[in-house]
Chains A and B, each alone.
Chain A
Amino acid sequence: MNKLLFANFARLKKSKIFWLCAIIMFGFGVFLSVSTYYDAKAFEYKACLDDIFFTYAPLIGIICSVFISLFLGTEYSDRTMRNKLIIGRTRSTIYFSNLIVNIAAAVVICLFYIAAICAFGIPLIGVFQSDASIIAEYLFGTFMMIISFCAIFTLIGMLIQNKALIAVINVILAFALIIISSAVIDSLQLNVETYPEYTHTNYSVENDIEYSDDGSSPPDKFIIKGVKLDIYEFLIDFLPMGQAIQYRYKIADEPYKMPLYSLGITIVTTGIGIFVFRKKNIR
């Protein structure tokens, strides 16, 4: 395992796509710090570091999908995977070593963003306004979320032998997760913000007719209630991109739940990945 890890890290250090992703995240951090500073100046509001610090959360999903596809895809396209098996490495060791390197790479890419925010954001827009405990909780949550992203994309990258197909599936999956999570969050926000008087707590359903406290029926189908509401709330906490958007905008109601879901996703996807990978016929 040590030798595999060492070899993978050596390859990572030389990987152009890794450095490109890191530079993009660093550049994005610089851009966000400077643009927030000028916006705050133009619109005369007080910006704080909290507003931009967790912006890496949704972005890292896309970056991970691109990086892992191209980095892992090479293992199959260059026959590295087969060579590793020939020299006697077990399939579980190969899977774990790849997962660990992907996680490490994703964390380092995030650290590039954080470094840019600290170097440019703190001097320009100041420090955090939230409590240190909240920041630590969010930071821990986002790193668990990154691990779950890596576990999902590694699963796909290890089970499909065509590099281009891995790239297509991973990138589309990342964007699909963004679209689904944004749609669910929008529906929930519309539900609460636009029609607060009709939220699930203060109206009842009798004979398929919906009544609110003041006797009028709810306005239309925008209202989400009952099981559907529970499913929506579960989805935004469970899906890594739903978590990412909540961390980004600091709208998480129960942030302690999300790392547990991330852990669950990581364990399940890695378990499935190792199980299938061990039975896979590798060319």
Chain B
Amino acid sequence: MSKLLYAGIRRYLKSIIFWLAVIATAAIAVDFGYWTRNNYIDDVYFLAEFIVLAILFTWLVGREFDEGVFRNKMICGHTKGTIFLSELILSEINCIFLFLIFSGIFVAFNGYIFSNIPANVLIRIFIGCLLSNMAFTAIFVTISCLIPHRAIIAVINILLIFGITFVSNDIDYSLSNEKYNIVYDTETKETVDEYGEYIEEEIEIPGTERKVINPNYVGGWKRSVLKVTYRIMPISYIEDSVMRTYNCFGYNDEYRNNGLTYEEDPYAKFSITKADNKALSVDLVYMPILTIVIIAAGYALFRRRDFK
């Protein structure tokens, strides 16, 4: 295993694709940091980073299958399990390295806000985002190890990023529906608008409000399943973290030009409810589930795979 890892690290360091990925990550992080400082935090930059990871692992791991390197390693006496695990460990190390570059540059631009957020919240968000990246890496590596055609791996990996994001957003939307809607009886009244013209307006009748069941509400066992599915999705922790810290980011020129410090910015306040605070910790437990399942499935399938 150590020989495989050593050879892998040397191969990565010599690869142009790896250094291109480092440059791309740094460029995305600079844009992300600058945009966040001047506007607001936007999770679309994480998608861009996932695309970089997808291309990197499609190229480097997919090539092993495509060019018969897996077969050569087996001929040298390495077991299939060791080969799979070595590819996974190398890719995860790479992922952590790229994530450190990404987050380091982001902090360089937006570190001033961290005095506003409790350290334990920051650490949990950092770990959660790192686990998201590692989960995506596990998916990409597993697919790259199991499919022999690099073009197909590339298509599947990139589509998966958008697919997972779409499904995650859809589940989040379904879960956000309230159980009841408040409805009022209405009456039509004729009023005169500012131009002196008669217009008809629907006006709610006070005292007639009542609760009706929202047909969009998902309840019962379906809700529990959706909740768990949402929590194990690799992108959900990032989306939730962005939402929870949204108000903290964006030290606008408007405030800077008016001589206000960040602490005096009336909107840049961080607050977290007890439920959200608990969710930040609970979600961290759910995050690795998908990674572990994928690694286990990948390991089992890779060992049964027939290599030409």
How far does the Cβ of B36 sit from chain A's closest Cβ, in whole Å? 16
Is A273 located at the chain interface by the 8 A CB criterion?
Answer: no
Closest to B44 in A: A179
B159: contacting residue among A42, A66, A70, A164, CB under 8 A: A66
Residues of chain B within 8 A (CB-CB) of A166 are 151
B55: contacting residue among A42, A43, A66, A168, CB under 8 A: A168
Report yes or no: A164 in contact with B153, Cβ–Cβ below 8 A. yes
Is A172 located at the chain interface by the 8 A CB criterion?
Answer: yes
In the complex, what distance in Å separates the CA atom of A43 from the CA atom of B213? 12
Report yes or no: B158 in contact with A164, Cβ–Cβ below 8 A. no
In the complex, what distance in Å separates the CA atom of A247 from the CA atom of B149? 35
Report yes or no: A164 in contact with B215, Cβ–Cβ below 8 A. no
Is A256 located at the chain interface by the 8 A CB criterion?
Answer: no
Interface flags for B214-250 (1: CB within 8 Å of A; 0: not) read 0100000000000000000000000000000000000
Closest to B162 in A: A175
Report yes or no: A172 in contact with B51, Cβ–Cβ below 8 A. yes
Report yes or no: B154 in contact with A171, Cβ–Cβ below 8 A. yes
Is A69 located at the chain interface by the 8 A CB criterion?
Answer: yes
How far does the Cβ of B140 sit from chain A's closest Cβ, in whole Å? 13
Residues of chain B within 8 A (CB-CB) of A167 are 151-152, 154-155
Interface flags for B38-68 (1: CB within 8 Å of A; 0: not) read 0000001000000100010011001000000
Report yes or no: A168 in contact with B158, Cβ–Cβ below 8 A. yes
Residues of chain B within 8 A (CB-CB) of A29 are none
Which residues of chain A (77-118) have a CB below 8 Å from chain B? 77
Is B150 located at the chain interface by the 8 A CB criterion?
Answer: yes
Interface size class of B (residues with CB under 8 A): 10 to 19
A168: contacting residue among B58, B162, B215, CB under 8 A: B58
Q: Could you tell me the dominant secondary structure of chain B's interface residues?
A: helix
Residues of chain B within 8 A (CB-CB) of A70 are 151-152, 155
In the complex, what distance in Å separates the CA atom of A163 from the CA atom of B58? 12
Report yes or no: B162 in contact with A164, Cβ–Cβ below 8 A. no
In the complex, what distance in Å separates the CA atom of A168 from the CA atom of B24? 15
In the complex, what distance in Å separates the CA atom of A62 from the CA atom of B162? 11
Report yes or no: B44 in contact with A168, Cβ–Cβ below 8 A. no
Residues of chain B within 8 A (CB-CB) of A62 are 159
Report yes or no: B44 in contact with A164, Cβ–Cβ below 8 A. no
Number of interface residues of A (CB under 8 A): 17
In the complex, what distance in Å separates the CA atom of A70 from the CA atom of B59? 16
How far does the Cβ of B264 sit from chain A's closest Cβ, in whole Å? 19
Report yes or no: B44 in contact with A163, Cβ–Cβ below 8 A. no
In the complex, what distance in Å separates the CA atom of A66 from the CA atom of B151? 10
Residues of chain B within 8 A (CB-CB) of A172 are 51, 158
Interface flags for A151-177 (1: CB within 8 Å of B; 0: not) read 000000000000110111001100100
Report yes or no: B62 in contact with A164, Cβ–Cβ below 8 A. yes
Is A73 located at the chain interface by the 8 A CB criterion?
Answer: yes
Which residues of chain A (55-74) have a CB below 8 Å from chain B? 62, 66, 69-70, 73
Report yes or no: A171 in contact with B58, Cβ–Cβ below 8 A. no
In the complex, what distance in Å separates the CA atom of A69 from the CA atom of B153? 12
How far does the Cβ of A245 sit from chain B's closest Cβ, in whole Å? 15
With A43-B215, A168-B55 in contact, is A69–B151 under 8 Å at CB? yes
How far does the Cβ of B50 sit from chain A's closest Cβ, in whole Å? 12
Closest to A70 in B: B151
How far does the Cβ of B39 sit from chain A's closest Cβ, in whole Å? 9
Q: Which of A43, A69, A164, A171 has the largest count of B CB atoms less than 10 A from its CB?
A: A164
How far does the Cβ of B161 sit from chain A's closest Cβ, in whole Å? 9
Report yes or no: B158 in contact with A175, Cβ–Cβ below 8 A. yes
Interface flags for B193-204 (1: CB within 8 Å of A; 0: not) read 000000000000
Residues of chain A within 8 A (CB-CB) of B59 are 164
Report yes or no: B158 in contact with A171, Cβ–Cβ below 8 A. yes
How far does the Cβ of B193 sit from chain A's closest Cβ, in whole Å? 14
Can you list 16 A-B contacts (CB < 8 A)?
A: A42-B215, A43-B215, A62-B159, A69-B151, A69-B155, A163-B150, A164-B151, A164-B154, A167-B151, A167-B152, A168-B55, A168-B58, A168-B158, A171-B155, A172-B158, A175-B162
Give 4 new A-B contacts, CB below 8 A, not counting A70-B155, A168-B158: A69-B151, A164-B150, A164-B151, A166-B151
